């Protein structure tokens, strides 16, 4: 075995260690078997290099597949020491080298410039990255002629496209920019174009400050490693980040890339992992699918890199155990071995991830499959992929998102859905404030739905405390006063584990303070079947559209529960979500009317999902909504077993005290619990006080 390199990222020693996992049930064994099967299938089917096509077309999919296949076949060939596999990679490279220069550019379909194989250069960069890594594994066995044909026919024009033709795009501090520099940099390292390597590291102006990989590391992620576009794009950005970092760690060790910016790369990996729900899916903050998870290829690489570079932290090993496979690399061997060794489970604790201005709070309580995870968004907006959801929340427990994000409105790669691109309803509904779990003011989105305005704003984190091991309280207080001119919004979110309820309670208090009369809509999304609106409900026969703009035009009113018409108002509704009941209890300062809503109005192309919502509406200058979400009971339909379908919390009352403090009284059949919440507390331990006053019976 040897420490000498084979290809850009592997040593001969790594490849030998990897070979030992082939056919095993380890994470790496699973990956190598999958890769082996794909390469075997490709050899059986024969390689195909088609012409140009639309996103989602056969041509598009085949080019995408081929780009990965070049790397996979080369890697499998080296692991198996099988020249037939290597030949697949070589023949693909030669075939593309034959046609690439002569291929015309596609027509631009979005703001991303067009490539030749794909309609946006982002895909072309991803393709180049895989092809370059594959080529690096082959290069030493090729003839001079073959090398020349591949480098001159394929890689040189690709590098020219990215660094000359689209030079203006190369320095963009953005996830696309990261792919651009990583792809160009890796390709240039492989074919020995040091000038391009330098440009990829230092940017067009060579300063390392306005563009290039170093600037991306320094400025794309916050000091905590948070990525402003949210976890969905973070896991996409971390893929080229980790690959190019490894290439530079090996081939430009003098850069000490992993130490850069106080270990920013490692922090970024940890920040991403901290956002994942207990089942491994990422909360759909900003534009995002609701199914993206830690088994994504980028996260596989990131976890392996972290374990390889920083050791087998038990929390990360436990996450690796949730993945199906890992990175086919020496670090994948390290990870697989760490998973095999580990027995105890560990979880990443509650975290406040600062994004440099505001932050994202991740409140977690409970263990294993019962773990609760509450996300409160109080950070920056997220640029073009941002949603107008400042102070929004989402709640996950026992395998399901209970108060759910809608996510983006898009079916990636589904060609009949507008070529798989973002749909009009993404702007029309998904991004708008009303699509989220928060209070909407005057039926309008935050910052007038203007990304430029929103990008200048952020949430303010006023308190964050995790006392889950002490008295069962994990809580955050956040606020904002520029999303709506003249209105200050403050939200207190608490997870509360006590002996009073089966599962942690979510106590959610929103204070909205304006100087004029406003319409305040407390909104939340839910999934499942309404069991009962406690205290009456009037169903609508004909469904009318709720509003005219800012997402309201996409909502139908299904029915309503009128609260008190003078003085404070109460609502309660129980629904069944999977096998668990959830009851929303609300007490509000002013009269409210609660509506059950359905998403899907004004949707000519059927691009919206028919999801359920509740909206409680108050008109006031300033008001308070105190909400408790109580999870209870169990329903097993197949076995026809049911327990505790009714909530146990009997009433929610509150008073506003001096100094912005709020006292909340929760009355259960057996006793009352009183919370005093003080946003101005000097320390987290004083922010929330529990004054549960003895048993009532």
Which is the catalytic residue, given 96, 100, 226, 233?
233
- Which of 146, 322, 354, 413 binds a second copy (CB under 8 A)? It is 413
Q: Is position 543 an interface residue for a second copy (rule: CB under 8 A)?
A: yes
- Encoded one letter per residue, x for contact with a second copy by CB under 8 A and - for no contact, window 26-65 reads ------------------------------x----x----
Tell me: does residue 559 bind a second copy (CB under 8 A).
yes
One residue of 602, 648, 667, 689 binding a second copy per CB under 8 A? 602
Among 574, 588, 618, 623, binds a second copy (CB under 8 A): 574
539 binds a second copy, rule: CB under 8 A:
yes
- In which residue are the tokens 């589904």 written? 414
Contact between 635 and a second copy per CB under 8 A: yes
Q: Which two tokens stand for residue 398?
A: 């026992």
400-403 and 651-656 beta bridge pairing: unpaired
Determine contact, residues 404/479, Cβ cutoff 8 Å. no
Between 16 and 642, CB nearer to a second copy: 642
Q: From the CB of 69, what's the least distance to a second copy, in Å?
A: 14
Report helix, strand or coil for 81: coil
Q: Is 385 a catalytic residue?
A: yes
CB 573 within 8 A of CB 464: no
The Cα 427–Cα 441 span in angstroms is 19
Catalytic-role residue among 385, 387, 436, 590: 385
Kindly state the tokens that stand for 138.
């082959």
C-beta separation of 64 from 123 below 8 A: yes
Which helix (H) or strand (E) element contains residue 522?
A: strand 505-526
**233 tagged catalytic:** yes
Q: How many CB atoms lie within 10 A of CB 682?
A: 8
Instruction: Kindly tell me the sign of the dihedral angle through the C-alpha atoms of 224, 228, 234, 237.
Output: negative
Distances (CA, A) of 421 to 113, 359, 412: 15, 29, 6
Residues 641-660 that bind a second copy (CB under 8 A): 641-643, 645-646
Interface segment toward a second copy; rule CB under 8 A; list 84-92, 390-398, 632-640, 683-691 = 632-640
Structure tokens belonging to residue 550: 């800012």
Per the CB < 8 A criterion, the answer to whether 120 and 113 are in contact is: yes
Of 41-49, 121-129, 430-438, 631-639, which part binds a second copy (CB under 8 A)? 631-639
Q: Does 612 bind a second copy (CB under 8 A)?
A: yes
Distance CA 574, CA 218 (A): 48
Size of the site for a second copy (CB under 8 A): 57
Q: With binding defined as CB under 8 A, does residue 640 bind a second copy?
A: yes
* By the rule CB under 8 A, 610 interacts with a second copy: yes
* 154 three-state secondary structure: helix
User: Which of 417, 460, 661, 671: binder of a second copy (CB under 8 A)?
Assistant: 417
Indicate the residue among 517 and 610 with the shorter CB distance to a second copy: 610
Interatomic CA distance for residues 312 and 310, integer angstroms: 7
Contact 261, 241 (CB under 8 A): no
Give whichever of 80 and 290 is closer to a second copy, judged by the CB atom.
Answer: 290
Task: Give the interface segment with a second copy, choosing from 26-34, 74-82, 152-160, 532-540 (CB under 8 A).
Answer: 532-540
The torsion of the CA quartet 279, 282, 285, 286, rounded to 10 degrees, works out to: -140
Which of the residues are catalytic? 233, 385
Residues that bind a second copy (CB under 8 A): 56, 61, 289-293, 295-296, 411-417, 420, 529-533, 537-539, 541-545, 556, 558-559, 574, 576, 596, 598, 600-606, 609-610, 612, 635, 637-643, 645-646
């Amino acid at each position: 075995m040897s420490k000498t390199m084979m290809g850009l990222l592997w040593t001969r020693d790594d490849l030998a260690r990897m070979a030992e996992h082939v056919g095993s049930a380890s994470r790496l064994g699973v990956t190598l078997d999958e890769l082996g099967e794909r390469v075997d299938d490709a050899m059986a089917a024969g390689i195909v290099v088609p012409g140009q096509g639309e996103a989602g077309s056969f041509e598009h999919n085949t080019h995408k597949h081929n780009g990965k296949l070049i790397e996979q076949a080369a890697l499998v060939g080296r692991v198996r020491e099988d020249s037939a596999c290597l030949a697949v990679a070589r023949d693909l490279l030669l075939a593309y080298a034959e046609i690439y220069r002569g291929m015309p550019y596609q027509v631009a379909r979005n703001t991303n410039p067009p490539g030749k194989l794909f309609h946006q250069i982002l895909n072309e960069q991803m393709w180049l990255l895989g092809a370059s890594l594959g080529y690096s594994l082959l290069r030493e066995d090729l003839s001079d002629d073959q090398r020349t044909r591949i480098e001159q026919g394929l890689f040189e024009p690709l590098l020219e496209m990215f660094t000359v033709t689209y030079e203006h795009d190369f320095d963009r501090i953005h996830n696309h920019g990261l792919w651009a520099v990583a792809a160009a940099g890796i390709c240039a390292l492989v074919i020995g174009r040091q000038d391009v390597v330098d440009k990829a590291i230092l940017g067009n102006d060579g300063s390392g400050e306005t563009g290039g990989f170093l600037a991306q590391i320094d400025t794309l992620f916050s000091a905590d490693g948070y990525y402003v576009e949210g976890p969905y794009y973070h896991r996409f950005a971390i893929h080229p980040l980790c690959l190019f970092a490894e290439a530079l760690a090996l081939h430009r060790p003098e850069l000490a890339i992993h130490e850069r910016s106080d270990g920013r790369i490692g922090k970024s990996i940890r920040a991403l992992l901290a956002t994942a729900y207990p089942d491994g899916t990422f909360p759909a903050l900003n534009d995002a699918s609701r199914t993206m998870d830690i088994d994504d290829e980028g996260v596989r690489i990131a976890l392996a890199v972290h374990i390889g570079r920083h050791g087998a932290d038990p929390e990360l090993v436990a996450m690796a155990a949730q993945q199906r496979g890992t990175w086919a690399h020496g670090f994948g061997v390290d990870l697989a071995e760490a998973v095999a060794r580990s027995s105890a489970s560990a979880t990443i604790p509650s975290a406040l991830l600062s994004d440099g201005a505001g932050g994202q709070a991740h409140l977690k309580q409970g263990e294993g499959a019962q773990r609760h995870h509450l996300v409160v968004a109080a950070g920056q907006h997220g640029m073009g992929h941002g949603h107008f959801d400042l102070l929004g929340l989402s709640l996950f427990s026992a395998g399901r998102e209970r108060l759910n994000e809608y996510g983006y409105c898009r079916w990636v790669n589904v060609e009949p859905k507008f070529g798989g691109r973002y749909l009009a309803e993404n702007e029309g509904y998904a991004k708008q404030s009303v699509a989220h779990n928060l209070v909407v003011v005057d039926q309008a989105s935050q910052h007038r739905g203007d990304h430029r305005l929103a990008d200048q704003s952020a949430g303010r984190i006023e308190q964050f405390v995790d006392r889950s091991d002490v008295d069962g309280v994990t809580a955050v207080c956040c606020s904002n006063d520029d999303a709506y001119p003249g209105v200050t919004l403050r939200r207190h979110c608490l997870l509360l584990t006590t002996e009073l309820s089966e599962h942690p309670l979510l106590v959610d208090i929103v204070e909205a303070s304006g100087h004029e009369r406003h319409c305040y809509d407390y909104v939340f999304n839910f999934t499942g079947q309404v069991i009962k609106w406690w205290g009456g409900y009037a169903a609508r026969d004909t469904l009318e559209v709720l509003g005219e703009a800012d997402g309201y035009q996409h909502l139908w009113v299904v029915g309503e529960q009128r609260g008190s018409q003078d003085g404070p108002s109460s609502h309660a509704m129980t629904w069944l979500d999977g096998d668990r009941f959830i009851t929303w209890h609300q007490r509000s300062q002013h009269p409210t009317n609660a509506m059950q809503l359905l998403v899907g109005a004004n949707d000519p192309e059927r691009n919206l999902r028919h999801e359920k919502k509740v909206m409680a509406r108050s008109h006031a200058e300033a008001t308070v909504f105190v909400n408790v979400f109580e999870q209870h009971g169990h329903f097993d339909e197949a076995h026809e077993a049911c327990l505790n379908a009714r909530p146990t919390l009997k009433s929610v009352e509150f008073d506003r005290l001096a100094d912005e403090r709020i006292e909340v009284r929760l009355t259960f059949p057996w006793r009352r619990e009183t919370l005093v919440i003080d946003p101005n507390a000097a320390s987290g331990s004083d922010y929330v006080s529990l004054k549960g006053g003895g048993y009532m019976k």
